[in-house]
Amino acid sequence: MSLVEIEPEVRRELAKRVKYLKRYGDKHNRKLPDTMIARKIKITAPTLAKFLDKQTVTVHQDTYCKVVEWLEKDK
């Protein structure tokens, strides 16, 4: 598996969406914890935390594709 650098725009957009889902909830008005948000993206909660951490520079390509796909789907 190859590693891909995380683009700042993708990280910023993901952080914005995660913050919104934690604060206001989804279409069913449920406030979601990190584990449920990660489950929606189809990744694990530690991977989501690693993706949002500014110290992390690279992630696996399939993880990056899942996150970008989820961000595009919910626009």
Taking the C-alpha atoms of 43, 10, 49 and 4 in order, what is their torsion angle to the nearest 10 degrees?
Answer: 70
Q: What is the mean pLDDT of residues 9-16?
A: 94
pTM of the model: 0.85
Determine the 3-state secondary structure of 65 from DSSP: helix
Cα–chain-centroid distance for residue 10?
A: 9
Domains parsed from the chain with CATH numbers: 3-73 (1.10.260)
Band the pLDDT of 46: cuts 50, 70, 90: very high
Is the pLDDT at 5 greater than 80? The verdict is: yes
Half-sphere exposure at residue 47, Cβ-oriented, CA atoms within 13 angstroms = 17
